[in-house]
Chains A and B, each alone.
Chain A
């Protein structure tokens, strides 16, 4: 390799490594209450930062990283660059369950738990129906997932149409993806890092699997078993993300694409890069969502799309080819 790409790679990685801490710092300093340098804040502001802004920013970081990882996996699984974590109906199942909980006021069941249960149920339904007896079939999995997603869509519309006006607003926010009720302690970063590390051990297999089942089998992978393994892991990551923050769109689709343009398609670099960028991106988007029109809060899913769509289109337009 020539020296120019090496320099470019170094700059890219320096940027990627700096993004999450920088985003967390911004999230701590900026809010609907205005700007405040976190290291020189008074007692009240320190409580706001420590108890509200930082836990929420950590939740955004974890959710963004989970979605970006799940997006990478789904794109390999379906061998389709259009796949995102929700394409197989996981967010639909989560949403249907969460909305049922909200509209019937099932206060003894927290919404995140319901959403997680809904995703898992969808995962099992698609798994059982798409498994079949033959070889792994991308088309069958995709069709099963898309149809299940359409079914959940109908359930969601039904709940929205018949639900009370009082709960409608919180339902809509949930559907658009919203972090305002979520907060996580910094300890959550450890299981996330462990998960990224474990996936990284499988990353070369992902490179081989993206060549399809026959190619993967000929290069020594038990392809069918491995594909189902990826399916389950991607679904669990997505279920966790959805239960934390609702159906935040676009992160799981664009982050893997952006990172492929930046660092290449090798999953050993693509997965960690996507985790860093997805996490940092969602922290920034959520900080903007709660600060821009403060004290009014926007659902972060609206902002991810508003930022993501033009950014993605610009890159797509400038790219010499679609990767």
Chain B
């Protein structure tokens, strides 16, 4: 795939290592506007580290990231934060604040250090909470939330930050199906309607087939595959990726991948 020059996030000749472990070798990738990338791979393969590298908070061995045309290491953190945001795997709140205040923190890179959030910023925060069905919790403490609410609040903060490039580290981890669909629908709308670019690490392959236009597969040992979801997500690739047999079930309306289990069955 040719990196197009106007892609918001371009990865060039990237080598990422964690100690002795290769995450990726020679990764080249362009994430365009309106593209929703799924980042798949087994546990411990370095998905989080790769996302952190994309965000500029982890140093790669070689190569670099170009964000809206300019290399990350030539940009200031504040400058990066206006264009790129990341939903970390865990958010931990040490002190009490309301959900609305927590969401408003997302405006931080956009407003001058001494300025207060404007009425428009407040509106934006309320809209983000409303998108995630949390408006009635606006005055609630961020420390009193359930797992699903807490995850939705973290995503609301990212929406308030409103970056072109969104990096999402397992946004639906440990959530029930309703919460998963709420979160992914919001993200999908951001990508397709607002033409954002997203890279999302996740474990649920079937959510990737539903929501992601492209996938990046990390096999371990630095090997990777990248491309459109329909081409890359095959039973063979997934079996290699997860080192266990994965089967494709197609009922004509939806394609679903399932772990075939430890025993052999005739395929069909």
Contacts and interface: CB of A to CB of B under 8 A. Distances in A.
Interface string B63-93: 0000000000000111111100110100111
Interface residues of B, number: 35
Contact of B105 (A1, A208, A222): A208
A266 B97 contact: yes
A219 B80 contact: no
B177 interface: no
* Chain B interface, DSSP helix/strand/loop, else mixed: mixed
A211 B95 CA distance: 8
Which of B91, B92, B108, B116 neighbours the largest number of chain A CB atoms within 10 Å of its CB? B108
Interface in A7-56: none
Instruction: Kindly state the interface size class of chain A when it binds its partner.
Output: 20 to 34
B97 A265 contact: yes
Contact of A81 (B57, B92, B95, B98): B95
B141 interface: yes
Interface string B48-69: 0000100101000000000000
Given A201-B113, A260-B95, A323-B95, A221 B77 contact: yes
Given A221-B77, A321-B143, A211 B96 contact: no
Contact of B88 (A218, A260, A266): A218
A205 interface: yes
A69 to B, nearest CB: 16
Interface in B89-115: 91-98, 101, 105-106, 108-109, 111, 113-114
A255 to B, nearest CB: 15
A204 B113 contact: yes
A210 interface: yes
Interface in A188-225: 201-202, 204-205, 207-208, 210-212, 214-215, 217-222
Interface in A290-323: 321, 323
Given A266-B97, A323-B95, A220 B77 contact: yes
A81 B94 contact: yes
A71 to B, nearest CB: 13
Interface in A203-258: 204-205, 207-208, 210-212, 214-215, 217-222
Contacts, number: 83
B94 A79 contact: yes
Nearest to A256: B95
Which of A75, A220, A323 neighbours the largest number of chain B CB atoms within 10 Å of its CB? A220
B52 to A, nearest CB: 8
Contacts of A153: none
Interchain residue pairs A-B with the least CB separation, the first 6: A220-B81, A220-B109, A220-B78, A323-B96, A265-B95, A79-B94
Interface of A: 1, 75, 79-81, 201-202, 204-205, 207-208, 210-212, 214-215, 217-222, 260, 264-266, 268, 321, 323
